[in-house]
Amino acid sequence: MAAELLFARYAPKNLEPKNSIGAKWPRLLDRLNLRPVVEGRRTAIKMHLGGGSGFTTIHPFFARGLVAKVREAGAKSVFVADSPSAVAHAAERGYTAETLGCPLVSISGATDGYFQTRPIVPPFKTLTEIQVGGEIAAAEALVDFSHVKGHGACGFGGASKNLSMGCVTQRTRGALHQLEGGLAWDREKCSHCKVCQENCPNGAIRFNEQGEISIFYHDCKFCGHCALICPEQALTMEGGRYRDFQRGMALATQTILSGFDPANVVFINVLTSITILCDCWGMTTPNLVPDIGILAGRDIVAIEQATLDLIRTEDLIPGSLPPAYALGAAGHLFERIHRKDPYAVIEFLAETGLGQRAYTLAEVD
């Protein structure tokens, strides 16, 4: 039997305020029936709060509305969680305890040292364990509240990436990215502009006195930012094993969700401000497609499948791609941009038994 998903369409059928996405949002949450999920339980709302000069994360209006509905459904307590650095700078994007109506909590403490180690069973290549943020591990119910966008390493980011990369320590994020391969530097192409060094989110890149690049792999998380931003294409990811990265994300997602009763988890994907790169880039770029709406349900595989199905190449907004990008010949819009099949992670999620790809959409009027 196909999984049922709720869908609130962004575009209103007319200009009556009751038909706007802001008015549909509480009606969608009412139909989601949060009470059996959160009642009497310490509930984590996992979001990606963004960073840098980026601002196209989930609007605080929607987060505040979700917090209110979780409280109304009888949660023992509720908090919004993300990585230590994102929480530290959340107010820059309007996320505060006052605007959200609940505390903002680092998943792993202020220094990323509060975590629970869980094994990957069976191990996958170099991925043998993950460090799950202690606040996520201690929660009794989970709302996976995800902003959907493109991603250079895995095609796209949605519900699975919000958990697998957002509920773990920096060390684990590095281990997951390392599944893709290493970094190669072409001395002849390098102009020593140091754009890679200046934009490395972890300060892992340096140039020595001889002009040779040095990468401190203890801090490098293999995110690929340096390779994508290099104007001379002097840095490349070796191996190109993006499917290994996607499988690693699926296994990490499974391991994180294993700490919850499935009845106490819901998934919400927000398909607005869909940009070419992940919010972790710390910048905002033009929307690729018009805002689509919000999906919600209890099957992570189905919601990821429906998310990608709703993002169509024919809706690409002219002029939204950066100058260096050109569409490939075939595949999903994200595959034509990033040359990586975004559906692969859904294939791997289904293999773990987390859900099914078949779904029906029940539209919220």
Question: What pLDDT digit, counting tens, does each position of 116-132 carry?
Answer: 999 999 999 999 999 99
User: pLDDT tier at 348 (50, 70, 90 boundaries)?
Assistant: very high
Question: Is 247 found in the same domain as 104?
Answer: yes
pLDDT at residue number 255: 98
Count of CB atoms situated within 10 Å of the CB of 338: 24
Percentage of residues of the chain with pLDDT beyond 90: 79
Question: Is 290 found in the same domain as 337?
Answer: yes
Tell whether the model's pLDDT for residue 239 goes beyond 60: no
Whether omega before 122 lies within 30 degrees of 0, making that bond cis, reads yes
Distance from C-alpha of 107 to C-alpha of 48, rounded to nearest angstrom? 11
As given in the structure block, the two tokens for residue 315 are 């809706």
Question: Is 333 found in the same domain as 219?
Answer: no
Tell whether the model's pLDDT for residue 61 goes beyond 70: yes
As given in the structure block, the two tokens for residue 55 are 């601002």
Question: Is 276 found in the same domain as 326?
Answer: yes
**Beta carbons of 141 and 265 less than 8 angstroms apart:** yes
Question: Is 306 found in the same domain as 192?
Answer: no
Distance from C-alpha of 64 to C-alpha of 81, rounded to nearest angstrom? 14
* Residue 284 burial by Cβ neighbours in a 10 Å radius (0-12, 13-18, 19+): middle
Tell whether the model's pLDDT for residue 9 goes beyond 90: yes
User: pLDDT tier at 223 (50, 70, 90 boundaries)?
Assistant: confident
pLDDT at residue number 280: 84
pLDDT at residue number 282: 86
- What is the DSSP code string of 285-296? ---SS---EEEE
Tell whether the model's pLDDT for residue 216 goes beyond 80: no
- DSSP-derived secondary structure letter, 323: T
- The angle subtended at Cα 158 by Cα 156 and Cα 160, nearest 5°, is 105
What backbone torsions phi and psi does residue 228 show, to the nearest 5 degrees? -75, -30
Give the end of a domain, one of 206, 222, 237: 237
Tell whether the model's pLDDT for residue 182 goes beyond 70: no
pLDDT at residue number 339: 87
User: pLDDT tier at 177 (50, 70, 90 boundaries)?
Assistant: confident
Tell whether the model's pLDDT for residue 1 goes beyond 70: yes
Q: Please tell me the least confidently modeled range out of 83-97, 236-250, 340-354.
A: 236-250
Least Cα distance to 154 among 50, 278, 46, 251 occurs for 278
Helix (H, G, I), strand (E, B) or coil at 197: helix
Most confident range (mean pLDDT) of 223-227, 309-313, 334-338 is 309-313
Tell whether the model's pLDDT for residue 41 goes beyond 60: yes
Q: Which residue has the tokens 């962004």?
A: 10
Number of domains present in the structure of the chain: 2
Read off the pLDDT of each residue in 353-364 and give the average, rounded to a whole number.
97
Non-local (6+) Cβ contacts of 4 within 8 A are: 297, 359, 360, 362
CA distances from 275 to 298, 315, 344 (A): 25, 13, 20
- The angle subtended at Cα 200 by Cα 199 and Cα 206, nearest 5°, is 105
Tell whether the model's pLDDT for residue 180 goes beyond 90: no
Tell whether the model's pLDDT for residue 96 goes beyond 80: yes
pLDDT at residue number 236: 82
Q: Please tell me the least confidently modeled range out of 98-107, 159-168, 233-242, 310-319.
A: 233-242
R_g (Cα) of the chain, nearest Å: 20
Beta bridge partners of 267: 144, 297
Non-local (6+) Cβ contacts of 267 within 8 A are: 144, 146, 159, 296, 297, 298, 299, 300, 303
Question: Is 271 found in the same domain as 257?
Answer: yes
Tell whether the model's pLDDT for residue 191 goes beyond 80: yes
User: pLDDT tier at 214 (50, 70, 90 boundaries)?
Assistant: confident
pLDDT at residue number 222: 63
Question: Is 312 found in the same domain as 274?
Answer: yes
As given in the structure block, the two tokens for residue 236 are 């490349």
Question: Is 120 found in the same domain as 7?
Answer: yes
**CATH classification of the domain holding 310:** 3.40.50
- The angle subtended at Cα 309 by Cα 304 and Cα 314, nearest 5°, is 140
Instruction: Please give the mean pLDDT across all residues of the chain.
Output: 93
- DSSP-derived secondary structure letter, 264: G
Distance from C-alpha of 264 to C-alpha of 286, rounded to nearest angstrom? 36
Least Cα distance to 109 among 89, 81, 67, 130 occurs for 81
Give the end of a domain, one of 202, 237, 272: 237
Question: Is 208 found in the same domain as 120?
Answer: no
Question: Is 193 found in the same domain as 138?
Answer: no
pLDDT at residue number 204: 80
* Residue 241 burial by Cβ neighbours in a 10 Å radius (0-12, 13-18, 19+): middle
Domain that holds residue 266: 3-178+240-363
Q: Which residue has the tokens 């919004």?
A: 80
Read off the pLDDT of each residue in 40-47 and give the average, rounded to a whole number.
98
Tell whether the model's pLDDT for residue 219 goes beyond 80: no
Read off the pLDDT of each residue in 311-317 and give the average, rounded to a whole number.
97
Strands (E), the chain: 3-9, 42-46, 77-82, 104-106, 115-124, 127-133, 141-147, 149-151, 155-157, 183-185, 205-207, 213-215, 235-237, 265-271, 293-297, 359-363
Read off the pLDDT of each residue in 293-318 and give the average, rounded to a whole number.
98
Question: Is 215 found in the same domain as 251?
Answer: no
**CATH classification of the domain holding 192:** 3.30.70.20
User: pLDDT tier at 44 (50, 70, 90 boundaries)?
Assistant: very high
- The angle subtended at Cα 50 by Cα 116 and Cα 108, nearest 5°, is 15
Read off the pLDDT of each residue in 142-170 and give the average, rounded to a whole number.
95
Beta bridge partners of 213: 207
pLDDT at residue number 43: 98
Question: Is 77 found in the same domain as 35?
Answer: yes
Look at the chain and count its residues.
Answer: 365
Q: Cα dihedral angle (49, 51, 56, 58), rounded to 10 degrees?
A: 0
